[in-house]
């Protein structure tokens, strides 16, 4: 039995929630390895709706161990809040079912404020972030001045660490003409939340390796999508973590061999929230219709998502940068009823044809998509549970997508209901 990593193969919001939930049922351990509470998904289990942003999906199921790895940036207040909300829904979260890496970086109020300030426009660096403080927290981690979870267990030496952090942040504040942060207030912010989060702290690298050696099945749950990866995405319009599958190892403290089968999730069309290039974006009524049918509004921020045709060139690239073994193609039913459907198959740039997405920001903004047009289908794919239920043209579309992206469709999702799924391959079976 392989372990499985699930990653978004586009710009996030690919419908990972349903697939991760289905896989988490078969897993013993579910691990988050990057991002933070900028992610958001809704799980519907036994008629109950659970909204998660920081906790791994396995947490709502009994007898699963959920792990937040070192690659995650952890807002301790968001964690405590999510734990409390779930408790109100009857889900008990204890050290028995949740562990958090002792070396995870903390998101503090200063990070949220800086994120919001940069996004306000006055600082001239708008990315369209979720304003959760994700970017500034990762900056402090790389800058070697971050406060980490384990620091809350040693309150005696915390003031010194807070001072080091504020030397940097208060210089920025002065530059922006803002009042400086008080070390005492930051210390108190941390000291008061410590008892709520410390009970979950652990050496996650060791725990996960023990679980792996004991033959437990591990599901690595990625957040966002490969095109938001800080290295491989549409930089600078990206999140601040590595979102590709390789991060599952680094962000949890295991070797790359432990990761196993890589399942990429892709929507049958494309969406994006926030700023940045999007070659197949639609600005017409077709785009509006896709957005309405697909209910394309963000779970975390409620923002309307930009919509466009499936861009096979981009997904082919993420198949390669994440080493994707198979794709779960979601929301095929949203394309039901379109007379014609387009697929982006390459780009035109300055009179040349490209079969990849160039890395430079300027080129990414200027490429024009080359489309292949296919006849749509009039029948419905919604709720289909076998190939035989699908209109012939829909099957043709899926087959063409596979051909263009260079990866097989392992799972086809035809509605938000968990049973409305066509399974070609169980990723846990390798
Ligand atoms: P940040 O992660 O809040 O810094 O936001 C950086 C970029 O990533 C913005 O374009 C966000 O809209 C995008 N982003 C962050 N989290 C998600 C997500 O879970 N789904 C989709 N986009 C996201």
Residue 134 Cα, ligand 1 centroid: separation in angstroms?
9
Q: Which residues contact 421 (CB under 8 A, 6 or more apart)?
A: 18, 22, 385, 411, 412, 413, 414
- Residue closest via CA to ligand 1's atom 11 equals 129
Residue 150 Cα, ligand 1 centroid: separation in angstroms?
27
Annotated binding residues for substrate, written as ranges, equal 299-305
Average pLDDT over every residue of 16-36: 94
Counting atoms of ligand 1 from 1, which one is nearest the CA of 300? Answer: 19
367-385 pLDDT tens trace: 999 999 999 999 999 999 9
Using the structure block, give the residue that is written with the tokens 């017409």. Answer: 284
- Residue closest via CA to ligand 1's atom 5 equals 129
pLDDT-above-90 percentage for the chain: 89
Q: How many CA atoms lie within 13 A of 72 on its CB side?
A: 30
Counting atoms of ligand 1 from 1, which one is nearest the CA of 241? Answer: 2
Instruction: Choose the residue to mutate in 57, 238, 274, 300 for probing ligand 1, maximizing ligand atoms within 8 Å of C-beta.
Output: 274
8 Å CB contact between 321 and 229? yes
Q: Which residues are catalytic?
A: 13, 41, 141
Instruction: Choose the residue to mutate in 39, 221, 226, 273 for probing ligand 1, maximizing ligand atoms within 8 Å of C-beta.
Output: 273
> Taking CB atoms and a 6 Å cutoff, what residues make up the pocket around ligand 1?
11-13, 38-40, 127-130, 132, 134-135, 223-224, 228, 237, 239-240, 273-274
Instruction: Choose the residue to mutate in 38, 57, 139, 237 for probing ligand 1, maximizing ligand atoms within 8 Å of C-beta.
Output: 38
Residue 135 Cα, ligand 1 centroid: separation in angstroms?
10
pLDDT-above-70 percentage for the chain: 99
What distance in Å separates the CA atoms of residue 270 and residue 216, rounded to the nearest whole number? 35
225-235 pLDDT tens trace: 999 999 999 99
Average pLDDT over every residue of 200-215: 98
Domains of the chain: 4-102+203-261 (3.40.440.10), 105-197 (1.10.300.10), 267-429 (3.90.170.10)
Counting atoms of ligand 1 from 1, which one is nearest the CA of 129? Answer: 5
Q: How many CA atoms lie within 13 A of 327 on its CB side?
A: 26
58-82 pLDDT tens trace: 999 999 999 999 999 999 999 999 9
Is it the case that residue 430 has pLDDT exceeding 90?
Answer: no
Is it the case that residue 126 has pLDDT exceeding 90?
Answer: no
Token pair recorded at residue 92? 């008990």
Is it the case that residue 333 has pLDDT exceeding 90?
Answer: yes
352-366 pLDDT tens trace: 999 999 999 999 999
Counting atoms of ligand 1 from 1, which one is nearest the CA of 38? Answer: 16
Is it the case that residue 201 has pLDDT exceeding 90?
Answer: yes
Is it the case that residue 190 has pLDDT exceeding 90?
Answer: yes
87-114 pLDDT tens trace: 999 999 999 999 999 999 999 999 999 9
Buried-state track 338-368, b at ≥16 Cβ within 10 A, e below 16: beebbbbbbbeeeeeeeeebeeeeeebeebe
pLDDT range class, residue 299, cuts 50, 70, 90: confident
- Residue closest via CA to ligand 1's atom 22 equals 12
pLDDT for the residue numbered 122: 66
Annotated binding residues for IMP, written as ranges, equal 13-16, 38-41, 130, 144, 224, 239, 303
Which candidate, 299, 277, 333, 330, places its Cα nearest to that of 9? 330
Average pLDDT, the chain: 95
pLDDT for the residue numbered 1: 62
Residue 212 Cα, ligand 1 centroid: separation in angstroms?
31
Residue 247 Cα, ligand 1 centroid: separation in angstroms?
17
Residue 72 Cα, ligand 1 centroid: separation in angstroms?
14
171 preceded by a cis bond (ω within 30 of 0): no
Report the first-to-last Cα separation within the chain, whole angstroms.
6
pLDDT range class, residue 416, cuts 50, 70, 90: confident
Residue 205 Cα, ligand 1 centroid: separation in angstroms?
27
pTM of the model: 0.96
Residue 429 Cα, ligand 1 centroid: separation in angstroms?
32
pLDDT for the residue numbered 44: 79
C-beta neighbour count of 216 within 10 angstroms: 15
- Residue closest via CA to ligand 1's atom 2 equals 239
Identify any residues that bridge with 266 across adjacent strands, giving them in sequence order: 329
Annotated binding residues for GTP, written as ranges, equal 12-18, 40-42, 305, 331-333, 413-415
What distance in Å separates the CA atoms of residue 232 and residue 238, rounded to the nearest whole number? 9
DSSP state of 15: S
User: What is the length of the chain?
Assistant: 430
Counting atoms of ligand 1 from 1, which one is nearest the CA of 40? Answer: 19
Ranges assigned E (strand) in 175-305: 201-202, 218-221, 261-267, 270-272
C-beta neighbour count of 247 within 10 angstroms: 25
Average pLDDT over every residue of 273-300: 93
- Residue closest via CA to ligand 1's atom 19 equals 39
Counting atoms of ligand 1 from 1, which one is nearest the CA of 131? Answer: 3
- Least confident stretch, 122-131, 137-146, 173-182, 319-328: 122-131
């Amino acid at each position: 039995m392989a372990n499985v990593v699930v990653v978004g193969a586009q710009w996030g919001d690919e419908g990972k929630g349903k697939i991760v939930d289905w896989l988490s049922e078969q897993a013993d351990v579910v691990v988050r390895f990057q991002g933070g509470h900028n992610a958001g998904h809704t799980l519907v289990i036994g008629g109950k709706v659970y909204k998660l942003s920081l906790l791994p999906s396995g947490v709502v199921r009994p007898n699963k161990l959920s792990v937040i790895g070192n690659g995650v940036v952890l807002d301790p207040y968001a964690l405590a809040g999510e734990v409390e909300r779930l408790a109100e829904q009857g889900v008990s979260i204890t050290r028995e079912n949740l562990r958090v890496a002792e070396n995870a970086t903390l998101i503090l109020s200063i990070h949220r404020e800086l994120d919001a300030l940069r996004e306000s426009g006055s600082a001239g660096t708008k990315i369209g972030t979720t304003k959760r403080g994700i970017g500034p927290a990762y900056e402090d981690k790389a800058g070697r001045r971050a406060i980490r979870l384990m620091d809350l267990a040693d309150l005696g030496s915390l003031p010194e660490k807070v001072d080091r952090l504020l030397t940097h942040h208060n210089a920025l504040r002065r530059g922006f003409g803002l009042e400086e942060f008080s070390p005492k207030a930051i210390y108190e912010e941390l000291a008061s939340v410590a008892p709520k989060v410390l009970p979950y702290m652990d050496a996650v690298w060791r725990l996960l390796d023990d679980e792996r050696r004991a033959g437990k099945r591990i599901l690595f749950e990625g957040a966002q999508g490969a095109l938001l990866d800080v290295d491989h995405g549409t930089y600078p319009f990206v999140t601040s973590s590595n979102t590709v599958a390789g991060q599952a190892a680094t962000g949890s403290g295991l070797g790359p061999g432990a990761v196993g089968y890589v399942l990429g999730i892709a929507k049958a069309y494309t969406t994006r929230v926030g700023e940045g290039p999007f070659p197949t974006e639609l600005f017409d009524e077709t785009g509006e219709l896709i957005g309405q049918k697909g209910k394309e509004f963000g779970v975390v921020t409620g923002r309307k998502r930009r919509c466009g045709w499936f861009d096979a060139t981009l997904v082919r690239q993420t198949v390669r940068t994440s080493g994707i073994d198979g794709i779960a193609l979601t929301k095929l039913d949203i394309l039901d009823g379109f007379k014609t459907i387009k697929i982006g198959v390459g780009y035109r740039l300055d009179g040349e044809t490209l079969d990849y997405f160039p890395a430079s920001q300027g080129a990414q903004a200027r490429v024009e998509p080359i489309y292949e047009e296919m006849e749509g289908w009039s029948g419905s794919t919604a709720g289909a549970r076998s190939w035989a239920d699908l209109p012939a043209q829909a099957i043709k579309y899926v087959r063409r997508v596979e051909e263009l992206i260079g990866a097989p469709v392992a799972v086809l999702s035809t509605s938000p209901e968990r049973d409305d799924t066509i399974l070609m391959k169980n990723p846990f079976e390798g």
